[in-house]
Amino acid sequence: MHPIKTIPLVMLLAACASPLFAQQNLSGLFSDSTLNPPNQPVLGTFSSPFIVNAQSNETLHKHDLNFYISHRFDDIAGKYGGVKTLFGLDNATDVMISFQYGISNRLTVGIGRFKGAPEVRYLKVPFNTISQLWYGELKYRLLQQTEDNSMPLAVTLYGNALASSMAVNENPSSDAHFNNFGDRWSFMAQAIIARKFSNKISFEVIPTYLRRNYVAFGDVNNMFALGVGGRWQFNRTMAIVADAFIPFRSQSSRNYFISNGIVFYVPISIGWEIVVDGHDFNINFTNANAISANQMIPYTTRNWGKGGFRWGFNLSRTFTLFEGTRHNWKK
């Protein structure tokens, strides 16, 4: 055969054979980016809606009911701690019991009760005497961080309202000397800005506005604070978590309290977290007496350096209601 005539024959054969090769590469029929879009939300920035005392950016999943209890003991060391109180175990400075419910994957509502952490050491200046607190909260996941960093940050909005049901304090200089129902309330609004930096490390900052309708003389009704929080997961089930709030109290208010022997400190909390499926347990140490941020941010008067820290625990259990209705579940 003339060589030039064999060329089209070879090409024809090659063209006919090519589908045989193409058929072996069925994987090329599907596009990865359609099946698994690169802007998938980052999951599990924090393991639960709480860090230690701060809110994390996490909301509950739809139809999840979270039962959350929290407890703080008295000072471990210093003037009020030590062996005589069994390192603070004799007293509970605050106790919290609450429920949160996921209306959707983005919106969580909650109600609960704090014992409240009134300050018993400075009764000459009764600036913090409120207890028996009821609260309601709303948390909305506004933005989710994405795996391709097209959205590098997660943003969650948080708001709560607290009201005290305690009897009116007769002392007119007390912050519990309520004149009307409105005086019993305080409100907090937060924007929680978080980022999961790796599978092990997450951080967040929490610009906070706190409104207390009725405060003692020298105190401030409106206060801004900046919170920070972080989580370091060091193995499959355990993490170190920490948070702190810097309250921006006016200098005149600060000076007033200092002249009465009262110094406010930055509440700093650190915890050891154990997460097992729906259980989240956390043993923590903090210089804040209060569990409620509405009291913790303005009223932390205990000092880590002088043994003014306590141990406490947070315990939460998540239940899923209406299990079958989350998706179009096929039998």
Q: Which residues bind another protein (CB under 8 A)?
A: 4, 7-8, 11-12, 15-16, 18-20, 22-24, 26-27, 29-30, 32, 35-36, 40, 42-44, 60-64, 102, 105, 147, 199, 235-237, 276-278, 318, 320, 323-324, 326-327, 329-330
Contact 60, 108 (CB under 8 A): yes
**Residue (90 or 148) nearer to another protein, CB:** 148
**Which of 187, 188, 226, 230 minimizes the C-alpha distance to 206?**
226
Token pair 């090519």 is found at 18
**Residue (44 or 182) nearer to another protein, CB:** 44
For residue 324, the minimal CB distance to another protein (Å) is: 7
Pairing between strand 185-196 and 310-320? unpaired
**Residue (63 or 195) nearer to another protein, CB:** 63
**Residue (199 or 251) nearer to another protein, CB:** 199
Rg (CA), the chain: 28
For residue 19, the minimal CB distance to another protein (Å) is: 4
CA distance 43 to 159: 23
**Residue (181 or 322) nearer to another protein, CB:** 322
Q: What angle (nearest 5°) sits at the alpha carbon of residue 287, between those of residues 291 and 265?
A: 105
**Which of 189, 190, 184 minimizes the C-alpha distance to 214?**
184
**Residue (3 or 305) nearer to another protein, CB:** 3
For residue 274, the minimal CB distance to another protein (Å) is: 8
DSSP-assigned states of every residue in 36-87: S-TTPBPP-SSSSSBSSSSB-S--PPTTEEEEEEEEEE--SSSTT-SGGGTT
For residue 35, the minimal CB distance to another protein (Å) is: 4
For residue 152, the minimal CB distance to another protein (Å) is: 15
**Structure tokens that stand for 310 in this block:** 């306590």
For residue 291, the minimal CB distance to another protein (Å) is: 23
For residue 219, the minimal CB distance to another protein (Å) is: 41
Residue 128, exposed/middle/buried by CB under 10 A (0-12, 13-18, 19+)? buried
Distances (CA, A) of 157 to 138, 186, 213: 8, 17, 22
Contact 68, 216 (CB under 8 A): no
CB contact set of 44 (below 8 Å; sequence gap of 6+)? 58, 196
**Residue (36 or 251) nearer to another protein, CB:** 36
What is the Cβ-side half-sphere exposure of residue 29, based on CA atoms within 13 angstroms?
6
**Which of 80, 174, 87 minimizes the C-alpha distance to 129?**
174
DSSP conformational letter for 40: P
For residue 236, the minimal CB distance to another protein (Å) is: 4
**Residue (170 or 323) nearer to another protein, CB:** 323
